[in-house]
Amino acid sequence: MTTHSSKPVAVITGGARGIGLAIGKWFLANGYCIALLDIDQQTLSKTEAALALKEEVLCLHCDVSKPEQVDAAVAQIDAKYGRIDALINNAGVAVFKPIGQTTFAEWRHVLSTNLDGTFLCSQACVPLMLKGKGGSIVNIASISGLRASTLRVAYGTSKAALIQLTKQQAVELGSVGIRVNVIAPGPVDTDMAKLVHSVAIRSDYYDTIPLNRYGTTEEIAQVAGFLCSAAASYVNGQVLAVDGGFEATGVGLP
Ligand code: NAD
């Protein structure tokens, strides 16, 4: 039987580690129950054990690019909490290669995770948001969606499309009480950054970012939290670069 949580509920995709986990912790610390969806069962189980909060945390194995898995996860969230107030579409993968070296399988993997995943999770969560008072969706894109570079044909294209998807969602859902915004992080020290940022990319970023450092996962989480809060009640359809000033420099991506 569906129960109805008295606390607001935030759903975070790719929540087992990195930026997604930091966002989950922000919502927990601010009085929400959270549902963390992730494809990586092993890391998800470790995160679930570390958080050790049975009532406030639901960890669900889910590949966000698979419609049936997304629907099943949202059905479990409905059964446990009966509501969704915030959705953070954070799950993402990166392949840093030029066009000539990117295989079609890599292209599809990046597009289906970063773009289809956001489409599917939003489509599945919105009806539950609308059963309540509406809510807020935050998509996590990247400054790679704002600038072209030689290594990011799949990743940059997926993130640019995510920015346009955000605007489409904001226009369509604003009138029914759901605000939708997108964060474009600069480089943040996570497993993904360790995997795809070569020593050369790291050093170029340090030289070109006005704050001379990578961001932290908490610095992205605070902005996601702000966008879902009443303090941002008139913010809709916006792209917010959280990048230490990199975008403002006009310098090309490393
Ligand atoms: P990460 O690799 O540390 O975490 C990503 C999480 O998403 C992982 O837990 C992974 O298992 C999960 N995931 C991957 N594919 C999935 C799928 N199909 N279904 C469900 N979960 C899936 O990466 P991160 O650095 O924390 O990145 C989080 C988001 O921030 C991504 O969308 C990424 O593109 C974006 N971003 C990261 C940086 C950076 O420098 N780290 C910069 C800009 C944008």
Q: Which of 155, 206, 214, 234 is catalytic?
A: 155
Look up residue 114 and give its two tokens: 């970063």
Name the one residue in this structure whose structure tokens are 């020593």: 199
- Cα–Cα distance between 241 and 244 in angstroms, integer? 9
Name the one residue in this structure whose structure tokens are 């030689």: 150
Structure ipTM: 0.99
The pLDDT tens digits of the residues spanning 149-193 come to 999 999 999 999 999 999 999 999 999 999 999 999 999 999 999
What's 9-197+215-251's CATH class? Answer: alpha beta
Which atom of ligand 1 is found nearest the CA of 185? Answer: 43
- Confirm if 41 and 52 have CB atoms less than 8 A apart: no
* Predicted pLDDT of residue 63: 99
Around ligand 1, the residues with Cβ closer than 6 Å are: 13-14, 16-20, 37-40, 43, 62-65, 90-94, 113, 117, 140, 142, 185, 187-188, 190-193
Is 155 one of the catalytic residues?
A: yes
Which atom of ligand 1 is found nearest the CA of 143? Answer: 43
Cα of 139 from ligand 1 centre, angstroms: 12
Work out the widest C-alpha separation in the chain, in whole angstroms. 56
pTM (2 decimals)?
0.98
Name the one residue in this structure whose structure tokens are 């009806």: 127
| Domain boundary assignment for the chain | 9-197+215-251
Q: Apex CA 170: angle with CA 165 and CA 171, to 5°?
A: 100
Ligand 1, atom 23, lies closest to the CA of 192
The pLDDT tens digits of the residues spanning 202-252 come to 999 999 999 999 999 999 999 999 999 999 999 999 999 999 999 999 988
Ligand 1, atom 36, lies closest to the CA of 142
Coil, strand or helix: which one is 184? Answer: strand
